[in-house]
Every structure is written in structure tokens, then in C-alpha cells.
A and B are shown apart, each in its own frame.
Chain A
Amino acid sequence: MGLESQFMLLMKFVMPIYLLAFVLYAVRAFKGPTIADIILAVDCLSFDVAAFMAILAVYFRSVYLVSGAMVLALWGYLLDIYVAKHIAEGEVGA
């Protein structure tokens, strides 16, 4: 059994766990009582979609998915900082 079929077997176990985790994060993001809960859930969701895109880059054998993963991680950080500044100060200034 070569490495490629072993990787396909690994994906068969790992992919449902990731998709279930995404569904749970999305439930918290939709019903979160405060703004901070929603932003935290969206943040977790974007970081984990970034990691999942890196796994899918190996699965589909394409390099371009990993650049999207890096942009997604940085976008999650930007969302955190802007919303935290908006909650704390009441405005998003310099």
C-alpha cells in the first residue's frame, strides 16, 4: 500500500471530524448571545478553514489553495483587532 492510498485513507477518517467541528462553530456563531461570542466563533472558523485548506491542497494536489489559507488566517486576525477596537473605544480610529 503506497503513501498515496494511505493518505486517502487518512482523509476518510479526518474529513468528517473537521466538517462536524465546522458545523458546531457555525451554530455558536449564529446563536452567540454577545458580539464577542460571534466574533470568537467566526475567528475559530476562519483559522480552522485555513488549516483545512492546507490539507485540501495535498488532497487536490494544488499549490494555490495554501496562499488562500494564509490570507484567511491574516483576515481572522484583522477582524479580531478591528472589532475589539470598536467594542472598547466605540470607534475604529488610528
Chain B
Amino acid sequence: MSLLFYIGALLIVIGALCDFFGALGLLRFPNFYVRLHAATVGIIGGAAVPLFGVALLALGADFLPHRYAIAGASFVTGIVVLIVSPAGSHALAYAAHKAGLVDWEPEVDHLAGVEGDG
């Protein structure tokens, strides 16, 4: 049982590091489309991975009351984050590109000629 605890603790530490580097990238990167990359590191690596880590850790922790409830709820929340965050980021990027919110200097713009899909 304590093997699950150590795997969960390792996943939580990885999640904290990914969260910190994602936040640093979100603060330092130049424009919105590059910041989306850092935000994805911060969400998938920094929220979904520690949620699965909390699920494993709570399964292995025998000092915890209601540990099965905490493990199941955080596992379901991890799967919800894993499904929902790419959809939201994609919708936001599509909206920003369609409305022309962001000033940028693209080398190649494959979406420039594609119109009339709304």
C-alpha cells in the first residue's frame, strides 16, 4: 500500500514543478499564441498530474479518513480536466484568431486563406 503513496507523492512533486514552469512561461513569453503552450504545460502538467497523484496517494495513505471518497473524486476531477482544458484552450485560440485580437508576425499562416466556416 505504501508504494501507491510514494508514486502519488512523486506525481505531486512533478505537478508542482510543471505548475511553476508553466506560470513562469505564461509570464515571460511574448504573445498570446506562445503563451498557450505554457498554459497547457501549466494545466495538464500542473493540474491533471497532481490530481492523479492525490488519487494514488489517498489510496495508499492509511491515516486518512474517507480515503476512497477523496481518491475517487480527485480521479474523476483529473479526467474532467484532461478532457475539458484542451477544448477550452482551442476555443479561445480560435476566437482570438478569428477576431484578430493579437498582433503577431507569422512566418507561415495556414489559416489565412480559410474563411467562411462559421
Contact between A87 and B17 (Cβ–Cβ < 8 Å)? no
Contact residue range for chain A? Answer: 35 or more
- How many residues on the B side are at the interface (Cβ–Cβ under 8 A)? 60
B35 A88 Cβ-Cβ under 8 A: no
The contact of A88 among B16, B27, B63, B94, by CB within 8 Å, is B94
Q: Quick one: given A14-B16, A24-B26, are A43 and B88 in contact (CB under 8 Å)?
A: yes
Could you give, for residues 1-45 of chain B, a 1 whenever the CB lies within 8 Å of some chain A CB and a 0 otherwise? 010010001001101110110111011000010011001001100
Check if B102 is an interface residue, CB within 8 A of chain A: yes
CB pair A50 B81 closer than 8 Å: yes
> Is B111 interfacial (CB-CB < 8 Å)?
no
Smallest distance from the beta carbon of A15 to chain B beta carbons, Å? 9
Could you tell me if A74 and B84 are in contact, using CB atoms closer than 8 angstroms?
yes
- Which residues from A are CB-within-8-Å of B65? 61
Within 8 A of B (CB), among A70-92: 70, 73-74, 76-77, 80-81, 83-85, 87-89
A1-39 residues with Cβ-Cβ distance < 8 A to B are 2-4, 6-7, 10, 13-14, 17-18, 20-22, 24-25, 27-28, 34-37, 39
12 A-B Cβ contacts within 8 A?
A: A7-B57, A14-B13, A17-B19, A21-B23, A35-B101, A36-B92, A40-B36, A43-B88, A44-B23, A51-B50, A58-B64, A70-B76
Additional 8 contacts, C-beta under 8 A, given A10-B9, A73-B80, A87-B96: A21-B16, A36-B101, A47-B47, A51-B48, A51-B51, A67-B73, A87-B99, A88-B99
The 4 closest A-B pairs by CB, nearest first: A80-B88, A24-B23, A84-B95, A84-B91
Q: Which residues does B use to contact A, with CB under 8 Å? A: 2, 5, 9, 12-13, 15-17, 19-20, 22-24, 26-27, 32, 35-36, 39, 42-43, 46-48, 50-51, 54, 57-58, 60-66, 69-70, 73-74, 76-77, 80-81, 84-85, 87-89, 91-96, 98-99, 101-102, 118
